[in-house]
Amino acid sequence: MSTARLPFVWDYDLDAGDFEALLAGRKTVGRLDRNWAAVRLLEYAPYPEIRRLLSLRDLVAGWPTWRGRIRSESRRRGLDFLVEWLPRERPDLLEA
């Protein structure tokens, strides 16, 4: 974990280590929890950063919870496609 700041968490006093702990469910900070971190990541981070911080398995599992909180229609459509396509075409990528 790093103490560097992540560009998609510009408005909170969180370093990369804090954000990763929130995303992993190991930490909460007030109302900030795993769901908040996942939505923030999916909404603002570039895809390579999403893949670095969130496994495809976790993305597919959590998507029904997070989907309604993603404001960007294009992000939602892209992730809808990915979450539907992965289990059907590449279930091997969802294995632990």
Per the domain annotation, does 42 fall within a domain? Answer: yes
Per the domain annotation, does 31 fall within a domain? Answer: yes
**Domain total in the chain:** 1
Contact 43, 57 (CB under 8 A): no
Per the domain annotation, does 2 fall within a domain? Answer: no
- Residue 82, CB half-sphere, CA atoms under 13 Å: how many? 23
Per the domain annotation, does 79 fall within a domain? Answer: yes
Per the domain annotation, does 1 fall within a domain? Answer: no
Q: What is the pTM of this model?
A: 0.92
**pLDDT tens figures, 33-72:** 999 999 999 999 999 999 999 999 999 999 999 999 999 9
Report residue 60 as tokens.
Answer: 């597919």
- Residue 47, CB half-sphere, CA atoms under 13 Å: how many? 6
Range of the domain at 64: 7-94
pLDDT above 90: percentage of residues in the chain: 93
Per the domain annotation, does 14 fall within a domain? Answer: yes
